Homo-oligomer: A and B are copies of this chain.
């Protein structure tokens, strides 16, 4: 296994990340993942986000997160990805733990995240990391919040103390 190098993302990393998402997630070409992860996250939340590269410079993983401005005790993880070849090796867990440590230093006592009802793997991952899973209506076989992120955008919520 190649050594992994952790650093803060730069604005210029945005295009690499949005191009990786549909490949890593096997999304249809019109899924427009950049709508979920616009450049603003790389401009304004770089200081609390993490980008991981392999020895050869290729993108290996990333975590985009920030501290809430209106709920300063809360940290929020917006988007996390790990290259398929590097999955199941603890990289995502390591990214989460690095983010938790950063946010504890800033005084956060809670971390939140969300996923879609269909994303069982994300739900298992968050449970394994000690997150409480939230939802009140069965959607695709799991409890989720209906229209949480707008019409038709149902979400499972995760929260964990820090």
Contact = CB atoms under 8 A, between A and B. Distances in A.
Contact residues on A (Cβ < 8 Å of other chain), bracket = 35 or more
A148 interface: yes
A71 B151 CA distance: 33
Given A34-B150, A149-B38, A44 B15 contact: no
A94 interface: no
Interface string A35-53: 1111110011111100000
Nearest to A147: B15
A33 interface: yes
Interface of A: 8, 14-15, 18-19, 32-40, 43-48, 66-71, 74, 76, 78, 112, 147-151, 153
